Amino acid sequence: MTTTTKNTKLLAWVEEMANLCNPDKVQWCDGSKAEYDAMIKIMVDAGAAIPLGKRPNSYLFRSDPSDVARVEDRTYIATRNQEDAGPTNNWIDPVKLKTIMRDLYKGCMRGRTLYVIPFSMGPVGSPISKIGVELSDSPYVVVNMHIMTRVGDKVLKALGENGAFVPCMHSVGAPLEPGQKDSRWPCAPIEKKYIAHFPEENLIWSFGSGYGGNALLGKKCLALRIASPMARREGWMAEHMLILRLTNPQGKRFHIAAAFPSACGKTNLAMLQPSIAGWKCECIGDDIAWMKTGADGRLYAINPEAGFFGVCPGTSYKSNPMAMESIKANAIFTNCVLTDDGDIWWEDMDVECKHGIDWKGNEWSPDRKDAEGKPVKGAHPNARFTAPARQCPVICPDWEDPAGVPIDIFVFGGRRSKLVPLVSEAYNWDHGVYMGATAASEATAAALDAKKAIRRDPMAMLPFCGYHIGDYWQHWLNMGDKLGAKAPKIFYTNWFRKSGDGKWLWPGFGENCRVLKWMCERVEGKVGAVETPVGYVPKPGDLDVSGLKVSEAEMAELLHIDVEGWKSEVPEIEEYLSTAGARLPLRMKTQLAELKKRIGL
């Protein structure tokens, strides 16, 4: 398939990489349904895609057991100066890294097709959107990019002859010799996997993995790791945030952008179904927000993605009914159980599965045990669904508005069983930035640093900030200066506080709208707050708990500030902030000093 583009830079780059990778042919993707169906047929015929009889136009894939998630220790930020990558990133000199990867790319697409995937992050033509072009030898990547981004000829038309794009180079790293049978999920061994970002060139190179954010380069690679330094240079924001619209009974709209570390209910909140009569919630995005200042001086956000790439285990009609409705058709599933009646299943789906084929292709039943007698999970813990955002029943009518939506509120959060109140409001922008920068969760068994009691995840950007974290915090402070009185209010939430006997104090899920309602009413000046050492918390009676089985004593505990506990937390916060070294903003030091003063240290 040829192309109509006359963009000389794009044509030269495609030719250069094709000469290096040596594919059997080059195919330009047009973004059509016919193309999507053809890619699916290739994979069904090869046994890589399994049609699901219970879900129209939906398919199950099983990845190689070595290729199941983002590989953080093989993910690199390559800057000329190592200090610019900062303490939160893996660094390799860009010249050295390109030499290593060029050797890997030599002939890596032999026996395969190189697909050229022009894509737009955000609505095509939006002033907040960016164009990328991914080269990949994976049909799985093509179909997922069809869902997750806007792909094809309309993007090339918007790019024009001289438009700028982010080059995204990807290969599964598994060339085929003549007559060699392809594997169901081709990939390279872990030691040859590289997910490389060159932020000074707006360039992404990925090799060896066919899975998720390692291969769908518009997602975390472009939308956060490359976009975050780009946003800093250009004066906007690229954040790991959901976006939702909350409308009160009077019809007033509020737009909220919220950042939570993993396992803190981010997707559930993005598709919230309010439990309070008269309030309406609509989803704009569940994962990433790009934000620029508008002509009126306010901050406007778009969701740069076109689909959801969600974690399956734990998703159910109880935890997130809107996500479940979004994946009833036209969806891709990866590493789930295949049930005997042609559907998919995963742990905590709240439906029974007596028998099926697990994510590794083995017979599975709930009573299956491993050699140590432990239950064997049917779905991989990072099993995923890919589905078009337009299928979500509560998708906002304005989710693709090129102008974006005006953000009223920022929310940060973490998973803490004690110390941190249910909700607090920052005193001012600088205090809010400090809240987000010191966001923390208690480590889970799945965390790489589970030996640490608390895992700091600044603005939920720990794995995704493409430059020095201290400079990133300074950029937040600079944006506050730019926005001035029009800056969104900043809040911090903790849905996970427990009583002394280990019981959840807050019901969560749809009831979280009560906390969001208080935030909206704070923006309007309708309700008061109590000043505490860590921020403003709701005054008794101002947080709507009507109809909830939460006692006054439990509410008091949810909002209680344990000053002695905060005193013991300060040394750990000081140690954490010190990792930013000389690039820790002075204003962050001031915020820490003010906290110490408020708690009597």
pLDDT in tens, 229-258: 999 999 999 999 999 999 999 999 999 999
d(CA 424, CA 494): 9
Please check the confidence at residue 1 and state whether its pLDDT lies above 70: no
Please check the confidence at residue 343 and state whether its pLDDT lies above 50: yes
d(CA 26, CA 21): 11
- The residue count of the chain comes to 601
DSSP 446-497: TSTTTTSSEEE-GGG-TTT--S-HHHHHHHHHHHHHHHGGGSPEEEEE-TT-
Give the residue from 536, 535, 487, 546 showing the smallest Cα distance to 511: 546
Please check the confidence at residue 88 and state whether its pLDDT lies above 50: yes
d(CA 317, CA 450): 30
Catalytic residue among 108, 187, 264, 396: 264
Indicate if 264 belongs to the active site. Answer: yes
User: Any bridge partners for residue 387, and if so which?
Assistant: 308
| Predicted TM-score of the model (pTM) | 0.97
**Quick one: tokens of 57?**
């136009």
DSSP assigned state of 395: B
Please check the confidence at residue 4 and state whether its pLDDT lies above 90: no
Split at pLDDT 50, 70, 90, the class of 261 is confident
Side chain identity at residue 391, one-letter code: Q
The alpha carbon of 476 is separated from its chain's Cα centroid by a whole number of angstroms, namely: 19
pLDDT digits (tens, 9 = 90+) for 465-482: 999 999 999 999 999 999
C-alpha distances (whole Å) from 338 to each of 67, 275, 360, 378 are: 19, 34, 10, 9
Contact 420, 558 (CB under 8 A): no
Element (H, E) at 557: helix 552-559
Please check the confidence at residue 598 and state whether its pLDDT lies above 90: yes
